[in-house]
């Protein structure tokens, strides 16, 4: 994932080194000192930056051949989803497993189990058979690293922060229901415009996994 970002930087570093070596007019000791001091002078910029990363959103929609009442029931809580072999999940991205809810209405606690842990959620909006939204109180790890060591890389320690999700159900005249879901999250990895492309590409398959499970349960007779 980092290759498109790291490669230009590596090329730039190699070019800079070549120019240092080729330029006999500038003492190499002075240039080496500059290379040693320059990184130290800019490392504090990221820490000093106080602005929060922007909120990104991923939207997914599906048409289900079932009434909204049935879709709603399977939206707020659903049974186990079979494991997927799609590429994001083979690479270690956390898969949704099941969701349970304790009670009804605004404030009800909801838990969504993933393969890497549990998302603890709180219901923020409840318009039965029409609109449902929750905020994430406590997230799970977003993926597992391919490593024999117990490491905690920065992209797993608070850089991807899911904040909330909302779902809208629209009944059709033909008895179908359009289900639209939007997840809102923050990605603090830089450059955000690039890493958001990866985040969106990962969140969308998670939506699809959940929506397909809801479709199967709702269309079952």
Q: Single out the residue of 204, 180, 210 nearest to residue 56, CA to CA.
A: 204
**Greater pLDDT, 79 or 84:** 79
The CA distance from 165 to 73, in Å, is 17
**Greater pLDDT, 77 or 27:** 77
pLDDT at 11: 75
Look up the CATH superfamily of 51-219.
START domain (3.30.530.20)
At residue 89 the predicted structure's pLDDT band, cuts being 50, 70 and 90, is confident
What residue segments make up the domains of the chain, in order of their start?
Answer: 3-46, 51-219
Residue whose structure tokens are 């290759």:
3
Query: What's the whole-model pTM score?
Result: 0.75
pLDDT at 58: 94
pLDDT digits (tens, 9 = 90+) for 15-62: 766 666 666 555 555 556 666 666 655 555 555 555 677 889 999 999
pLDDT at 7: 72
pLDDT at 148: 59
pLDDT at 51: 66
CB 169 within 8 A of CB 75: yes
pLDDT exceeds cutoff 60 at 182: yes
CB 35 within 8 A of CB 21: no
């Amino acid at each position: 994932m980092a290759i498109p970002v790291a490669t230009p930087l590596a090329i730039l570093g190699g070019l800079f080194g070549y120019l240092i070596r080729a330029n006999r007019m500038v003492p190499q000791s002075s240039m080496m000192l500059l290379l040693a001091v320059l990184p130290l002078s800019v490392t504090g910029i990221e820490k000093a930056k106080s602005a929060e990363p922007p909120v990104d959103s991923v939207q997914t929609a599906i048409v289900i051949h079932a009434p909204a009442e049935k879709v709603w029931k399977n939206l707020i809580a659903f049974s186990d989803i079979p494991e997927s072999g799609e590429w994001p999940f083979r690479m270690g991205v956390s898969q949704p497993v099941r969701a349970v809810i304790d009670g009804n209405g605004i404030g009800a606690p909801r838990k969504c189990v993933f393969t890497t842990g549990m998302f603890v959620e709180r219901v923020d909006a409840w318009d039965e058979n029409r609109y449902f939204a929750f905020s994430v109180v406590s997230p799970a790890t977003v993926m597992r690293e391919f490593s024999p060591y117990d490491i905690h890389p920065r992209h797993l320690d608070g850089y991807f922060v899911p904040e909330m999700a909302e779902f809208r159900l629209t009944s059709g005249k033909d008895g179908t229901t359009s289900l639209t879901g939007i997840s809102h999250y923050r990605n603090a990895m830089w450059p955000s415009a690039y890493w958001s492309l990866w985040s969106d590409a990962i969140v969308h398959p998670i939506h699809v996994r959940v929506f397909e499970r809801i479709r199967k349960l709702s269309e079952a007779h």
